[in-house]
């Protein structure tokens, strides 16, 4: 199996997906290897697992029994995915080179194509990409996205494609980590960091001033807890120094942990404070209360509204100590979480069945696409030409109005 996404960057959520996919598929298929593909090659022990560059995919596509796209926020067309993050060669389109191009290659070679709950909210689909994405969705036997906004955007492309919402696969982390049996790596890291059994995790980013002020002002009332300053996405600029050096009982880790160890750290916390989407999902998956600085009514975060244990931080106002303390309790049972886990079990069952069924006859449809491609390119060129003419006409009209205004002023 191959899985495609941004697994070559130091961002906690992205690094989880290959590990989750391999665990779930091995439980259903036995000996299966999930190979992560991203722009750039990575190798252990410097990286949590080996990552293959998408530049090698054309030679390896025929060796694959299935292709997973996502998860994460990867269905996108904007160029600024992360600072300095670009393909290894200009022959690979950015940023569709790590998701759309692999999808098309899978279909060309009859490899089952599965959309593993990626997201694309707030991301416009350009005209040139619509026929390619439309066909990719229609020829995929299993299309799942992680939120309703992504579903609406992709469903608008085609009446034939069945795009369904699936909770982020990280909600299944409890299948990979047993909190009742702390790992030796977790115990060793806590010992190295001087981290005890009672701690709160705070995301090492800006924008959490209200919580930091609460921690400083009511230090005596919160003295039973330590504060672990934890970067979630170093590639995005997370760093412990952002939170300052005057926080009582604050500790840091000697190194950024591997993704599953980081998840275990979050699972053992008594509360989590921060902005990251997968920080919140991990906390919810283990019943840990999450105090979230993100707007839960916007974008991907809308998918988290129905879960118990997520508390929006008051915006622009102090946090009341009593309000905070009343919400410091685990949720052992959450109906929405149980429903999400059942959806994910069904998802992985379906993925395993599709792999068992073997190759799918999709290459013939791709051949028709190549046959039609000159028409699509010509139509696109005509559309661009007409758009340029319209913009030129608008500029000419503005110029005429400016000239008329100057004459009036004179």
CATH code of the domain covering residue 318: 3.40.50.2000
Q: What is the pLDDT of residues 355-378, one digit of tens each?
A: 999 999 999 888 888 888 777 777
**Residue 372 resides in a domain:** no
Please give the mean pLDDT across all residues of the chain: 92
Distant-in-sequence contacts of 194-198, Cβ < 8 A, 24+ apart:
194/251, 195/226, 195/228, 195/251, 196/226, 197/268, 198/224, 198/225, 198/226, 198/270
Whats the size of the chain, residue-wise? 410
Same domain, 225 and 202: yes
Residue that is written with structure tokens 């750290």 in the block: 265
**Residue 133 resides in a domain:** yes
Residue 138 has which token pair?
């229609």
Predicted TM-score (pTM) of this structure: 0.89
Position 317 scores a pLDDT of 86
CA distance 373 to 132: 10
The average pLDDT across 369-397 equals: 75
> Considering its fold, how many domains does the chain have in total?
2
CA distance 410 to 398: 18
Position 395 scores a pLDDT of 83
Residue 294 has pLDDT above 90, yes or no: yes
**Residue 403 resides in a domain:** no
Residue 319 has pLDDT above 70, yes or no: yes
Residue 230 has pLDDT above 70, yes or no: yes
Q: Which domain does 313 fall in, by range? A: 174-330
Same domain, 301 and 192: yes
Same domain, 184 and 305: yes
**Residue 410 resides in a domain:** no
Low-confidence winner among 94-98, 119-123, 141-145 (lowest mean pLDDT): 119-123
The average pLDDT across 88-115 equals: 96
Same domain, 236 and 261: yes
Q: Please report which confidence band the pLDDT of residue 385 belongs to, taking 50, 70 and 90 as the band edges.
A: low
Same domain, 182 and 231: yes
Q: Provide the phi-psi class of 84: left if phi over 0, else alpha when psi is between -120 and 50, else beta.
A: left
Same domain, 289 and 355: no
CATH number of the domain at 122, please: 3.40.50
pLDDT: which is higher, 156 or 316: 156
**Residue 376 resides in a domain:** no
Same domain, 273 and 347: no
Same domain, 251 and 110: no
Strand runs labelled E in 280-385: 290-292, 310-312
CA distance 78 to 33: 32
**Residue 53 resides in a domain:** yes
Same domain, 312 and 206: yes
**Residue 7 resides in a domain:** yes
Same domain, 157 and 239: no
Residue 108 has pLDDT above 90, yes or no: yes
**Residue 48 resides in a domain:** yes
Same domain, 63 and 142: yes
The widest CA-to-CA distance across the chain, in whole angstroms, is 84
Same domain, 17 and 112: yes
């Amino acid at each position: 199996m191959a899985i495609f996404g941004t697994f070559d960057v130091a961002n906690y959520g992205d690094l989880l997906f290959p590990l989750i996919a391999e665990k779930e598929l091995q439980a259903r298929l036995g000996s299966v290897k999930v190979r992560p593909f991203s722009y750039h090659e990575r190798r252990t022990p410097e990286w949590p697992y080996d990552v293959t560059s998408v530049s090698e995919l054309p030679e390896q596509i025929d060796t694959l029994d299935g292709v997973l796209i996502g998860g994460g926020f990867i269905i996108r067309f904007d160029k600024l995915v992360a600072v300095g993050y670009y393909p290894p060669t200009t022959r690979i389109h950015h940023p569709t080179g790590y998701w759309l191009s692999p999808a098309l290659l899978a279909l060309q070679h009859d490899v089952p194509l599965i959309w593993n709950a990626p997201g694309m909210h707030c991301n416009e689909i350009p005209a040139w990409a619509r026929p390619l994405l439309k066909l990719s969705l229609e020829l995929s036997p299993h299309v799942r996205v992680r939120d309703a906004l992504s579903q609406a955007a992709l469903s608008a492309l085609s009446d034939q494609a069945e795009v369904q919402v699936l909770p982020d696969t990280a909600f299944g982390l409890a299948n990979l980590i047993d909190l009742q049996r702390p790992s030796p790596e977790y115990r060793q890291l806590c010992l190295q960091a001087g981290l005890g059994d009672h701690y709160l995790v705070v995301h090492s980013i800006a924008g959490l001033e209200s919580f930091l002020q609460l921690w400083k002002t009511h230090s005596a009332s919160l003295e039973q807890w330590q504060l672990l300053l934890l970067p979630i996405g170093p590639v995005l600029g997370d760093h412990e120094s952002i939170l300052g050096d005057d926080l009582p009982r604050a500790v840091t880790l000697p190194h950024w942990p591997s993704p599953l160890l980081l998840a275990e750290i979050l699972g053992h916390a008594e509360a989590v404070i921060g902005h990251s989407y997968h920080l919140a999902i991990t906390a919810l998956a283990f019943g840990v209360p999450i105090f979230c600085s993100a707007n839960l009514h916007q974008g991907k975060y809308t998918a988290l509204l129905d879960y118990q244990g997520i508390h929006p931080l008051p915006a622009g106002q102090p946090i009341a100590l009593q309000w905070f303390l009343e919400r410091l309790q685990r949720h052992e049972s959450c109906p929405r979480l149980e429903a999400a886990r059942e959806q994910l079990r069904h998802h992985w069952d379906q993925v395993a069945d599709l792999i068992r069924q073997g190759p799918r006859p999709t290459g013939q449809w791709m051949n028709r696409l190549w046959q039609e491609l000159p028409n699509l390119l010509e139509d696109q060129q005509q559309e661009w030409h007409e758009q340029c003419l319209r913009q030129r006409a608008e500029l000419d009209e503005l110029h005429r109005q400016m000239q008329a205004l100057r004459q009036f002023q004179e």
